[in-house]
């Protein structure tokens, strides 16, 4: 079944949202917004700390502990995972999957180590893609603040066999409600055999339909959920003519 | 009713405890084999080889085999289900609990018609048990068993394959999905399965 996930960017214990990863404004308590996502019929929640790696912090443990014992849909955490101990602490806290972004460039072996302890299905490769030109995307790290010089296509080819899922975000569309980058989805979906979650620019059910057709296994909805009252269950009712969804 | 959750120190016990308490089942934690109670639950997440080695070293394998030999209820979730079997292709040469026959296989070896692996997401269950049949549950696994296994009690379709979603024999039961992460339907199913193994045989 295709999934509609909520994307909850966090800073400390709060949910925040920016545009193109900049100008983060506070939305509300991150834990409570996870529960709103459940009420709105989302299939899964992606918690992402955009600045954890930048400041060499870990994801807020209090948020994880609260969410894990009371949110009865899957949630993953991405941001600031730098060691196997960081990953282990998240598992014990109740996290279903852990995403690695910046560290995957610095130390790709960390994902292998995580897979060796917790299984490949536990490891999410999070990629922040910056469009350079037609069909050309660069991986950026540290919450979109630093160039890597590594092309998304090359990184996906090298890393996809070592992880359980790819979460790809279009930095150019993030928070902008300008629709998904279908070219990016098509490119990455064609290069990997693991599930692909797309994030960036999703406004409504029509955008989700296009993202699914382009090859996404799931979409992550951020700004439309926080600001536009997007309800996943309503979208799923409309999508079930073409896709299998969880209703 | 009280369920003892096996705490290996590297698995997800918090979500399962939260789910049990939500449906009115008391949860206890066993952090060493001597603390096992009359009804036990092995929660998920982990690599088969890493976890079985840890369990052997800490005495869990022996303790859980003896638990099962006394016909006491045991529920495994996700990797906890796979641990009920003798072995898994995820870690050739390491031994699981061996309470159910057969070997956990690689999902990628099944006729999936191009579907992606791991299976990550919600699938609809089919079962002769009407409490289980038709419910959507959340799966996240790269390894598993085909539904033609003799102890398969519920299954789901993926590509051209049918995959075991619930296995069980006597008072031993395994769930490949995460009921604690499958919304209200999952919580209901978790309670149903625990009641089922606690009150009698689960053979259909």
Q: What is the pLDDT of residues A45-59, one digit of tens each?
A: 999 998 898 888 888
Q: Parse chain A into domains and list their residue ranges.
A: 3-239
For CA atoms A114, A116, A117, A123, the dihedral sign is positive
Nearest CA in chain B to A5: B121
Q: Which residues pair with A238 in a beta bridge?
A: none
Contact status of A191 with chain B (Cβ, < 8 Å): no
Chain B residues whose beta carbon lies within 8 Å of the beta carbon of residue A70: 18
DSSP code string of B32-81: SGGG--SSEEE---S-HHHHHHHHHHHTHHHHHHHHHHTT--EEEETHHH
Q: Which pLDDT score, from 0 to 100, does residue B189 have?
A: 97
Residue A175 has pLDDT above 70, yes or no: yes
Q: Do B140 and A97 touch (CB under 8 A)?
A: yes
List the single residue in B9, B117, B181 with the smallest CB-CB distance to A74.
B181
Q: Where are the alpha helices (DSSP H) in chain A?
A: 30-39, 61-70, 84-93, 102-106, 109-118, 152-159, 182-191, 205-214, 223-227, 232-239
Active site residue B180: yes
Rounded to two decimals, the ipTM of the complex is 0.95
Contact status of A62 with chain B (Cβ, < 8 Å): no
**Average pLDDT of every residue of chain A:** 96
Distances in whole angstroms, Cα of residue B96 to Cα of each of B31, B50, B173 = 19, 11, 15
Mean pLDDT in residue range B13-33 = 96
pLDDT tens digits along A228-245: 999 999 999 999 999 999
The CATH architecture assigned to A3-239 reads Alpha-Beta Barrel (3.20)
List the single residue in A94, A119, A194 with the smallest CB-CB distance to B79.
A119
Contact status of A158 with chain B (Cβ, < 8 Å): no
Give Cβ neighbours of residue B90 (< 8 Å, ≥ 6 apart). A119, B47, B48, B49, B82, B104, B106, B142, B143
Q: Which pLDDT score, from 0 to 100, does residue B204 have?
A: 42
Chain B residues whose beta carbon lies within 8 Å of the beta carbon of residue A44: 121, 138
Using an 8 Å Cβ cutoff, are A236 and A246 in contact? yes
Least confident of A87-96, B155-164, B194-203: B194-203
Bond from prior residue into B19 cis (ω within 30 degrees of 0): no
Confidence (pTM): 0.96
Mean pLDDT in residue range A12-29 = 96
Q: Which pLDDT score, from 0 to 100, does residue B200 have?
A: 65
Chain B residues whose beta carbon lies within 8 Å of the beta carbon of residue A194: 116-118
Q: Do A88 and B10 touch (CB under 8 A)?
A: yes
pLDDT band at B199 (very low <50, low <70, confident <90, very high): confident
Chain B residues whose beta carbon lies within 8 Å of the beta carbon of residue A65: 14
Q: Do B120 and A195 touch (CB under 8 A)?
A: yes
Q: What is the rounded CA–CA span in Å between residue B82 and residue B143?
A: 8
> Domains plus CATH for chain B?
2-199 (3.40.50.880)
């Amino acid at each position: 079944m295709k999934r509609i996930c909520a994307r909850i960017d966090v800073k400390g214990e709060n949910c925040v949202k920016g545009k193109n990863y900049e100008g983060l404004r506070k939305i509300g308590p991150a834990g409570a917004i996870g529960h709103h996502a459940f009420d709105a019929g989302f299939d899964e929640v992606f918690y992402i700390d955009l600045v954890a790696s930048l400041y060499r912090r870990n994801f807020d443990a209090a948020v994880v502990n609260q969410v894990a014992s009371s949110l009865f849909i899957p949630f993953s955490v991405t941001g600031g995972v730098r060691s196997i101990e960081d990953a282990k602490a998240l598992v014990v806290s109740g996290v279903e999957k852990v995403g690695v972004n910046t560290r995957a460039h610095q130390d790709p072996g960390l994902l292998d180590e995580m897979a060796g302890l917790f299984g490949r299905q536990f490891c999410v490769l999070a990629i922040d893609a910056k469009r350079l030109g037609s069909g050309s995307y660069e991986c950026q790290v540290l919450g979109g603040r630093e160039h890597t010089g590594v092309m998304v296509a090359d990184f996906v080819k090298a890393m996809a066999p070592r992880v359980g899922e790819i979460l790809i975000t279009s930095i150019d569309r993030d928070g902008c409600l300008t629709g998904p980058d279908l070219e990016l989805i098509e490119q990455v979906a064609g290069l990997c055999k693991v599930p692909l979650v797309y994030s960036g620019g999703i406004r409504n059910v029509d955008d989700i339909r296009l993202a699914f057709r382009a090859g996404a296994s799931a979409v992550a909805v951020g700004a439309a959920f926080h600001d536009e009252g997007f309800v996943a269950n309503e979208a799923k009712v409309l999508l079930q003519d073409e896709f299998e969804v969880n209703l | 009713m009280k369920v003892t959750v096996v705490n290996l120190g590297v698995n997800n016990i918090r979500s399962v405890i939260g789910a049990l308490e939500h449906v009115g089942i008391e949860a206890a934690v066993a952090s060493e084999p001597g603390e096992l109670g009359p009804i036990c639950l092995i929660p998920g997440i982990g690599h088969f080889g890493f976890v079985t080695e840890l369990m052997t070293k800490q005495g869990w394998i022996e303790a859980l085999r003896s638990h099962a030999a006394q016909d006491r209820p045991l529920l495994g979730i996700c990797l906890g289900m796979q641990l009920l079997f003798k072995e898994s292709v995820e870690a050739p040469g390491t031994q699981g609990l061996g309470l159910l026959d057969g070997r956990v296989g690689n999902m990628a070896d099944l006729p999936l018609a191009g579907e992606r692996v791991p299976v990550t997401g919600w699938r609809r269950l089919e079962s002769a048990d009407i409490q289980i049949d038709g419910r959507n549950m959340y799966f996240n696994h790269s390894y598993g068993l085909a539904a033609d296994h003799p102890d398969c009690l519920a299954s789901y379709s993926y590509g051209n394959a049918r995959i075991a979603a619930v296995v069980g024999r006597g008072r031993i039961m395994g769930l490949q999905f995460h009921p604690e992460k499958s919304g209200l339907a999952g919580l209901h199913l978790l309670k149903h399965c625990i009641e089922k193994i606690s009150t009698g045989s689960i053979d259909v």
